[in-house]
Amino acid sequence: MRLQPGARSFTAYLASLIAVGPLSTDMYLPSLPSIERDFRATTGETQLTLSAFLIGMACSQLVYGPLADRFGRKPVLLGGFALYIAASLGAAFAADIDQLILLRLAQAMGGGASVVLARAVVRDLYSNEDAAQMLARMSAAMGAALALAPMLGGVLQAALGWHSIFVFLGIAGMALALITLAGLDETLPPAFRQSVAPRAILAHYRRLLCHPVYLRYLIIACLGMAGMFSYISGASFVLQNVYGFSPIGFGASFALIVGGYVGGTLLAGKLSKEVGLERTLKLGAAAAGTGGALAVAALTIDGTGYLLVGAMTVYGVSVGLTMPQAIAGALTPFPEIAGTASALFGFLQSTASAIAGVVVGHTLGETGWPMAAMIALMGVGAALAAWMPRPDRA
């Protein structure tokens, strides 16, 4: 069956592509203690299975973008899935923690193709408000899947052990590869094929980083997502150790914030067509600034932690509103290098988020103030960047 642009099946397929990375992380989180015990590894060594994946996912995007602009979306997607499937199944049978770390790195390097090329396919077929609406629909579907991922991982862990999670991911990768092979038509026009010479690739990256419109949307997205990752890095400690949340209570609070994100993406899909990309982006950025300010207020006036969860739910809505608009706005001026533009966008956004998370993780101490301050700084920064006069150059 051929995938038809605009059909629900096509949207679900693209949502599945961008969900590969987050699902590969969230599903195995409940298994980390079991992995540590089975391999008799330290906590630090076990955490490296997560860090290696994040590094591989970020860096691989810089490779896949230019390759996809030269050889097309479909063959590069299939190559990425081949590596992802092999690494996932290999991870299920890893003999020690070192092998698992290396296989997680390889798994991420394969999965990076799906993240970059889902956005590039959207840009090939849509632009501006239409692209933002499609990305919002994809993000809503992905958000719903991510809310269920830890639960599914927990069920597999309890029933079959952590090995089964990697087998599941490998089978899911096979299914997506078969759908890509049988159903996806190439979306990159032959006239847009680019060189993969290092000089040409560097010239494209230089062009993107010197383009004021691209930079504006990139800055908004980096700041907004960095604020969310600041919370993810510190929330477990702050809510459970400072405010006394139980693990179940913490999980419920996280689900509420994910619900805010999904709600924001659904609202973005509607608003982008009714009021336009720019107004939707500004509304979302204003919500980020509001959520950040409320996070600081929460630590000042509230001793329960509920106001902090409420503040981050507002922030979750803001991320859902702004991310589809920012991606669409950044990629629209570059139809001929959409893969490269998507790759650089994803790499820098991931890098900014990782830096913010590391800073929060190393400065938390006995209070949540470093986390709240970082969220506020990133949220207000995103709002200021969005509401500043838009560059004339498009």
**Where do the domains of the chain lie?**
8-183, 206-386
Third-level CATH fold of 8-183: Growth Hormone; Chain: A; (1.20.1250)
pLDDT of residue 286: 96
Successive 10-residue mean pLDDT values, the chain, 394 residues = 82 90 80 84 78 85 90 94 97 92 94 91 85 85 75 83 93 96 89 85 93 95 92 79 79 84 89 89 96 94 89 95 92 89 91 84 80 95 92 60
CA 58 to chain centre: 10
Q: What is the DSSP letter of 2?
A: -
pLDDT of residue 393: 53
pLDDT of residue 264: 93
List, in order, residues 6 or more apart from 140 with CB less than 8 Å away. Answer: 15, 262, 265, 266, 269, 320
Distance from C-alpha of 379 to C-alpha of 297, rounded to nearest angstrom:
14
From the list 269, 242, 42, the residue with the least C-alpha distance to 133 is 269
Pick the CATH number of 206-386 from 3.60.20.40, 3.90.79.10, 1.20.1250.20, 3.30.365.10: 1.20.1250.20
Task: Give the global pTM.
Answer: 0.84
Check for a shared fold between 8-183 and 206-386. Answer: yes
